[in-house]
Structure 1
Amino acid sequence: MAERTEFRIRTATVADAQSIVDAFDSTLPYLASIGSEGQWGLVPFSERPGFLDDMAKSLEQARVWQETHEGDSNIIFAAEVVGPASTEATVPAGFAQIHEDKFSEYLYKQANIQAVDLTKLSNFVFLEVLLVHFGTGYHKGAGTALVQHVKRYGLEKGKDAVYVDCWSGNNRQLVGYYERQGFVTVEDFAFPRENKTPWIGTLLRMDLTKA
Structure 2
Amino acid sequence: MEINVREGGPADVPVILGMLDSCVAWLVAQGRTRQWGTTPWSENPRAVDMVQRYVAEGSPFIAELDGVPAATLTLSKRPGPYLEPADEPERYIHLFASDRRFKGHGAGAALLAHAVEETRRAGVRLLRVDCYAGDDRKLVAYYESNGFTPTEAFTYGEDEWPGQVLARRV
**TM-score with structure 1 setting the length:** 0.74
Which letter maps to 1:96? L
Give the distance between the partners of 1:19 and 1:129, measured in 2 at CA. 12
The alignment partner of 1:20 has SS state of: helix
User: Which of residues 35, 40, 50 is equivalent to 1:39?
Assistant: 35
Give the distance between the partners of 2:4 and 2:154, measured in 1 at CA. 34
What residue number does 2:130 align with? 165
The alignment partner of 1:164 has SS state of: strand
Give the distance between the partners of 1:57 and 1:199, measured in 2 at CA. 22
Give the distance between the partners of 2:22 and 2:29, measured in 1 at CA. 12
User: Which of residues 104, 124, 127 is equivalent to 2:93?
Assistant: 127
What residue number does 2:4 align with? 8
Give the distance between the partners of 1:106 and 1:192, measured in 2 at CA. 9
Once the two structures are TM-superposed, the CA of residue 50 in structure 1 deviates from its matched residue by 5.3
What residue number does 1:138 align with? 102
After superposition, the C-alpha distances for 1:24-52 in whole angstroms (9 at most, x for unaligned) are 11011211233432110001112112544
Question: Does the CA contact (< 8 Å) of 2:119 and 2:126 recur in 1?
Answer: yes
The answer as to 2:69 corresponding to 1:92 is yes
After superposition, the C-alpha distances for 1:71-109 in whole angstroms (9 at most, x for unaligned) are xxx111111123xxxxxxx31101101112x2211012x
Q: Cα distance 1:104–1:51, how it changes in 2: closer, same or farther (>3 A)?
A: closer
Once the two structures are TM-superposed, the CA of residue 7 in structure 1 deviates from its matched residue by 1.1
Give the distance between the partners of 1:79 and 1:29, measured in 2 at CA. 20
Q: Cα distance 1:42–1:146, how it changes in 2: closer, same or farther (>3 A)?
A: same
Report which of the two structures shows the higher radius of gyration computed on alpha carbons. 1
**TM-score with structure 2 setting the length:** 0.90
Could you tell me which runs of 5 or more consecutive residues in structure 2 were left unpaired when the two chains were aligned.
none
Q: Cα distance 1:129–1:51, how it changes in 2: closer, same or farther (>3 A)?
A: closer
Give the distance between the partners of 2:31 and 2:168, measured in 1 at CA. 27
What residue number does 1:71 align with? none
Could you tell me which runs of 5 or more consecutive residues in structure 1 were left unpaired when the two chains were aligned.
63-73, 83-89, 109-117
Question: Does the CA contact (< 8 Å) of 1:132 and 1:143 recur in 2?
Answer: yes
User: Which of residues 15, 22, 27 is equivalent to 2:23?
Assistant: 27
Q: Cα distance 1:180–1:58, how it changes in 2: closer, same or farther (>3 A)?
A: closer
Moved over 3 A (4+): 50-59
User: Which of residues 62, 82, 101 is equivalent to 1:106?
Assistant: 82
Q: Cα distance 1:177–1:48, how it changes in 2: closer, same or farther (>3 A)?
A: same
Which letter maps to 2:112? V
Aligned length: 169
User: Which of residues 53, 75, 79 is equivalent to 2:59?
Assistant: 75
Which letter maps to 1:24? L
RMSD, matched Cα: 1.8
Q: Percent same amino acid at aligned positions? A: 29
What residue number does 1:112 align with? none
What residue number does 1:70 align with? none
What residue number does 2:51 align with? 55
Give the distance between the partners of 1:207 and 1:78, measured in 2 at CA. 23
Question: Does the CA contact (< 8 Å) of 1:35 and 1:170 recur in 2?
Answer: no
